[in-house]
Every structure is written in C-alpha cells, then in structure tokens.
C-alpha cells in the first residue's frame, strides 16, 4: 500500500496498515501500559467489569418498545418476554416526554406515535399488567419527566406490596444531553439538575438496585458526533451530575455504583469495540483519581448499548439486518451489560412484530451460537485494538480538559460550544457520504434502481388511539378527589419553591392521582421553561 494513502476510522483517527508491539510502547511506557490494561473485574476495568464476564452471565437482551396505548404496549412486552427478552425497555411518546397529558392542545397528532402514552398511575398499571416486577428489570427511556414516570412505577410497586429495595431497572434521567442532541427538555439547567440529583439521592436511600440515571452518549452520536466526542460529552455530563449530587452532601460511594451509561454502537467495528474499552478506563479514572471513590463498584462502568439508528437505511432495508448484526457483535466484544438491536424496518416506521423478533434472534444467535462469549475481552492484547483504545482515551481526555477550561459542561451548553462541535462533525460526515468517500451500501453505491421492489409491511398507529387516550385521561380525572389532587400539588409547589426533596413530593402527587401533565405544570410554574438554543 502506498504511504501516501491515508486511512482513518469513522471518527477521523489515522490508521497504519499494520500495528506492532512498539506502537503500543510509543503510546505508553511498558509499566503504564500494563497498569492501564489490568485484569477483568479489577481497576481500571479496561477488559471488563466482571472477572468472568459472559462466561457466568450473559448481557441483558432488552428490546426497546412502546407505542399507542398502555394496553397495546403491554401486549408487545409480553410478546417479547415470551420470545426470550430478559429485560423491558419502554419508549414513551412525545407528549409524555414533554410533560403533557393526551388532552393538552400541544399533544394533538403525537399521542402514541413514537412511544406509549402514559399520563397516570392507572396507565402504568395497564402498561405492566401481568408482568412480575420482582422478576424483571425495567428500563424507561424518559428524561425531563423521569421523576414522574419513576414515581408512577414506584407507586405501582407499593400497591403490589413489592419491596422497593428489590426493584431493578433504569430511568434515563439525562436531560443535559437533551439540550445538545435530542431536544426533549422542559426546564432550564438549574431545575433540571435539581430534579435529576433529587432522584439519584432518593434512589440511593430507597431503591438501591435501581439505576436512577443512564448518562447517554447514544443521542449525541445519533446527532452526528464522533466516537471520541460521544465519550467526551457523555463523561462531561456525568461530571456535572457528580458535582451536583455531591453538593447535596452525599458521599460518592453511596450512589456512584447506581449510575449507568448508554452508548451507541456505530458501524466502525473495531473503533466501537475499542471505544467501550476506553470508556471503562476513563470512568474508572474519573471516579477514583478525581473524586476519590474507594469502593471498586463506584468505578466500574456499566452500560447499555443500542445499535445505531442513524445507520439504518430506507433503501434495501434487508441490509440493515447485516449492519445491526455487526454492530451488536462489536458491542458484545466490547463488554456491554445490556443491548438493544434495532429492527430492519425502523427507517420506515415503528417495527413490526416479525422484525422485532428477528432483531432479538440476532442477539440470541450471537449469544448461543457464535461462541464469542467463551473468552473475556477476546480482542484484548491485539496491538491494533490496544493502540486504538489508547488513542480514543487520549483524545477524550483532551476534550474533557477543554470543557473544564471553558467553565464546565453547563457553560459549554449555554455557549453553544457542544452543539457546534456536534453539528460540525455531522456536516463533515455528510460531506463524505455525498462525495462517496464514505460508502453506504444501497444508498451511494450498489444502488438498486429496479422498479419491482418488495413492499414492506409498515406498522402504523391508528389515529383512533389518540381519541381513546383523551377519553381515558378525562375519565381518570373525573373520578378522583379534586381536593386530594389540589392538596398534593400544593405540597409539591411549596416544596419546589424551597429546598425539599422533590422525588418524595412527586411520588406523593402520583399516589394522590395527579397526572403527569399536572405535576409538570407545577414544576414549569416554579422552574420556568428552557428556550431553544438558536445560534452559534
């Protein structure tokens, strides 16, 4: 190969044609290299957070699902459980994410479209009908209203007389990334951090097996960031949450082991595997060396991953099965704790039952047929993988230092620095696709222009579901005690004005039959509403 040919990873890291032992020695001296590599289950966890990894326990196969009404979504969850999923993952519609009941004017046309509509404790009961919460872990992809949805879940568990200290699951609760990547925020950063950290503190005391936050790089990557930016911005957000929680007087070892992460699995196979190895090492160093964590569990990064939705194509959708398989395998080789595999038809609409089953079978074939789970960190020790891991870590630390020098993540969000970095990266990536420097099979190369294309069955949510949801929430409001609702909302309002624990007050409101929209309106009244960032 000519020395003039420059090959880079998808994120722009230059690559040599072959890597030798001396390349690792150039990264780090031998002593530092051995220290950084470590052993599985031991600091800095480069090779995995458990000594035996998948030899003793497979990752959780958690298929993300939710649409229409609680009843419809419940049927999909029970279908998935019957076919071998080992954890639930709940998608919520836009009104639920933005704190609006189905009967609100701004909810029109969006009820049940991109997730399930949940506005009350009654909806949560229906969503989880005949599902044993003591035997299943539940992940809820919810952010600005995570305190409320978690409160509905806890209230339901209490009604069922389930011990709260045995509840297992996750709420995403990462609104900082919403400001820069996804856009589903409600309150300004100050109110957002208070809500997020109140939930973390409450969970540390009451639900020790629950993850009260899943700090998410997934959406940052979907918005167009590089792999390095995904790690840097995610960990910068994590540092902001750590600082805000520590200000409440909690010791880091009281809550850090309950913090979880959510990463993207993109198409550059080896870069993604190396990214996860680097991520574990970075988090271990942040918690132990910067924050003085003493419990090894506080430094062990546990993460869920999802294959990259942005890589799915509407053209030749069957190609997406291959993309998802490679991405899922990359995540497994990188040591994931929980995984969602996208369905082949998601570039067209919500996945059908058949495509969801195939996506789940993809994980099961990797787990039970490929034999890649027989060894821990099977790519570890490869000079190429170790160099790539070191380089991703090095570049991530440079970004983290820059963010620190700019005043921290909140300042960088407010100034638009993070948004600019992501948008510039997305622009450069798109230019490569348009110039065919980056080839996407079926889109800019190997295009099929034949007219006789196979029609795909697309799942559509009936508009009738919105009418039913409106009728349901209005019926719920009509049969409850107005006096009781006003009382619990008044208590929440006064607590939000002061410094009281908001999670306890929100749980009280949920048990008092206040709706998601009513609770959100009280918080909007006290915290205000965040304006959209409009310039750079």
Neighbours of 369 (CB within 10 A): 8
For residue 535, the model assigns a pLDDT of 52
| End position of a domain, from candidates 425, 453, 476 | 425
Would residue 335 count as lying in a domain?
Answer: yes
In this prediction, residue 330 has a pLDDT band, given cuts at 50, 70 and 90, of very high
Q: How far apart are CA 526 and CA 188, in angstroms?
A: 11
Q: 3-state DSSP call for residue 137? A: coil
309 CB neighbour count, 10 Å cutoff = 18
Give per-residue pLDDT as tens, 412-447: 999 999 999 999 999 999 999 999 999 999 999 999
Chain segment 454-474, per-residue pLDDT in tens: 556 777 777 888 999 999 999
- Burial label, 526 (beta-carbon count in 10 A; 0-12, 13-18, 19+): middle
**Which residues, listed in sequence order, are joined to residue 123 by a DSSP beta bridge?**
none
pLDDT of residue 452 exceeding 90, the answer is no
Residues 41-64: pLDDT tens digits?
A: 999 999 999 999 999 999 999 877
Q: Examine the domain organization and report whether 38 and 173 are in the same domain.
A: yes
Q: Are residues 512 and 397 in the same domain?
A: no
Same-domain status, 58 and 192:
yes
Question: What span, in angstroms and rounded, lies between the C-alpha atoms of 536 and 286?
Answer: 30
HEC per residue, 338-385: EEECCCCCCCCCECCHHHHHHHHHHHHHHHHCCCHHHCCCCCCCCHHH
Burial class (CB in 10 A: 0-12, 13-18, 19+), 349: middle
Q: Is the torsion defined by CA of 494, 499, 502, 505 positive or negative?
A: negative
Distance CA 320, CA 324 (A): 6
**Quick one: DSSP state of residue 170?**
E
Report the pLDDT value the prediction gives residue 1, as an integer from 0 to 100.
Answer: 41
Write down the pLDDT at residue 533: 62
User: Over the stretch 282-325, which tens digit does the pLDDT of each residue have?
Assistant: 999 999 999 999 999 999 999 999 999 999 999 999 999 999 99
How does residue 28 score in pLDDT terms, banded at 50, 70 and 90?
A: confident
409 lies in the same domain as 483? no
Examine the domain organization and report whether 319 and 372 are in the same domain: yes
pLDDT (mean) for 129-150:
94
Clarify whether residues 225 and 318 are in a common domain: yes
- DSSP conformation letters of 241-258: HHHHHHTTT--HHHHGGG
Q: Are residues 343 and 491 in the same domain?
A: no
Residue 372 CB neighbours (<10 A): 14
- Grouping H, G, I as helix, E, B as strand and the rest as coil, residue 83 is coil
Question: How many domains is the chain partitioned into structurally?
Answer: 2
Mean pLDDT over the full length of the chain: 93
Contacts with 450 (C-beta within 8 Å, 6 or more apart), sequence order: none
Answer whether residue 59 is part of any domain: yes
Q: Which CATH number characterizes residue 141's domain? A: 3.20.20.240
Full domain range(s) for residue 220: 16-425
Q: Is residue 271 in a domain?
A: yes
Express each pLDDT in 285-297 by its tens digit: 999 999 999 999 9
478 and 384 in one domain? no
Is 481 inside a domain boundary?
yes
C-alpha 64/C-alpha 41 separation (Å) is: 28
Q: Write down the pLDDT at residue 2.
A: 46
**What is the model's pLDDT at position 499?**
85
Do residues 358 and 495 share a domain?
Answer: no
How many helices (H) and strands (E) in the chain? 22, 11
Burial 4-41 (b: 16+ CB within 10 A, else e): eeeeebbbebebeeebeeeebeebbeeeeeeebbbebb
**Tens-place pLDDT, residues 94-131:** 999 999 999 999 999 999 988 999 999 999 999 999 99
Q: Are residues 483 and 341 in the same domain?
A: no
The structure's pTM equals: 0.94
Q: Tell me what the mean pLDDT of segment 160-170 comes to.
A: 95
Question: Sign of dihedral through CA atoms 483, 485, 487, 490?
Answer: negative
pLDDT at 449: 84
Same domain, 266 and 119: yes
The confidence band for 4, taking pLDDT boundaries of 50, 70 and 90, is low
461 versus 503: the higher-pLDDT residue is 503
Contact 272, 266 (CB under 8 A): yes
End-to-end CA separation in angstroms for the chain: 42
User: At residue 260, what are phi and psi to the nearest 5 degrees?
Assistant: -125, 170
Domain boundary residue among 399, 425, 451? 425
Report helix, strand and coil shares of the chain as percent, to nearest 5.
55, 10, 40
Task: Dump pLDDT digits (tens) for 154-164.
Answer: 999 999 999 99
What torsion do the CA atoms of 411, 417, 423, 429 make, to the nearest 10 degrees? Answer: -120
């Amino acid at each position: 190969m000519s020395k003039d040919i420059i090959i880079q990873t998808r994120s722009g890291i230059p690559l040599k044609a072959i890597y030798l032992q001396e390349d690792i020695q150039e990264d780090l001296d031998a002593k530092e290299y051995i220290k950084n590599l470590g052993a599985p289950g031991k600091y800095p966890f480069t090779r995995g957070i458990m000594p035996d990894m998948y030899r003793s326990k497979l990752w959780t196969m958690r298929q993300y699902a939710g649409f229409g009404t609680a009843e419809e979504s419940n049927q999909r969850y029970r279908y998935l459980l019957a076919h071998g999923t080992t954890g639930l993952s709940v998608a919520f519609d836009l009104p639920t994410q933005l704190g609006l009941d189905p009967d609100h004017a701004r909810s029109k046309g969006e009820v049940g479209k991109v997730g399930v509509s949940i506005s009350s404790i009654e909806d949560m009961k229906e969503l989880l009908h005949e599902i044993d919460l003591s035997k299943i872990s539940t992940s809820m992809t919810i952010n600005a209203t995570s305190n409320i949805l978690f409160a509905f879940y806890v209230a339901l568990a209490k009604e069922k007389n389930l011990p709260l200290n045995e509840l297992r699951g996750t709420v995403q609760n990462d609104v900082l990334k919403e400001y820069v990547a996804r856009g589903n925020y409600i309150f300004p950063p100050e109110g957002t951090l208070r809500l997020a950290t109140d939930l973390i503190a409450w969970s540390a005391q009451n639900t020790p097996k629950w993850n009260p936050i899943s700090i998410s790089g997934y959406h940052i990557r979907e918005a167009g960031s590089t792999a390095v930016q995904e790690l840097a911005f995610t960990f910068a957000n994590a540092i902001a949450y750590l600082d805000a929680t520590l200000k409440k007087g909690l010791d880091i070892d009281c809550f850090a082991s309950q913090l979880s992460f959510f990463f993207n699995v993109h198409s550059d196979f080896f870069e993604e595997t190396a990214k996860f190895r680097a991520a574990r090492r970075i988090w271990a160093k942040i918690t132990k060396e910067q924050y003085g964590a003493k419990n090894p569990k506080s430094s062990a990064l546990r993460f869920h991953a999802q294959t990259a939705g942005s890589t799915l194509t509407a053209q030749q959708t069957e190609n997406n099965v291959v993309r998802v398989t490679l991405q899922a395998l990359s995540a497994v080789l990188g040591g994931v704790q929980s995984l969602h595999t996208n369905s082949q038809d998601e570039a067209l609409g919500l996945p059908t039952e058949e495509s969801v089953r195939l996506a789940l079978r993809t994980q099961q074939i990797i787990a039970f047929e490929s034999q890649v789970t027989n060894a821990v960190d099977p790519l570890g020790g490869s000079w190429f993988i170790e160099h790539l891991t070191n380089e991703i870590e090095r570049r991530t630390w440079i970004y983290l230092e820059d963010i620190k020098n700019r005043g921290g993540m909140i300042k960088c969000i407010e100034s638009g620095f993070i948004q600019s970095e992501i948008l510039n990266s997305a622009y450069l990536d798109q230019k490569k696709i348009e110039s065919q420097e980056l080839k996407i099979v079926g889109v800019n190369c190997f295009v099929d222009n034949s007219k006789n294309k196979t029609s795909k069955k697309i799942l559509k949510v009936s508009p009738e579901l919105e009418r039913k949801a409106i009728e349901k929430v209005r019926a719920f409001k009509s049969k409850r005690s107005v006096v009781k609702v006003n009382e619990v909302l008044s208590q929440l309002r006064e607590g939000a004005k002061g410094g009281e624990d908001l999670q306890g007050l929100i749980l009280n409101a949920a048990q008092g039959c206040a709706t998601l929209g009513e609770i959100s309106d009280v918080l909007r009244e006290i915290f205000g509403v965040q304006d959209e960032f409009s310039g750079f």
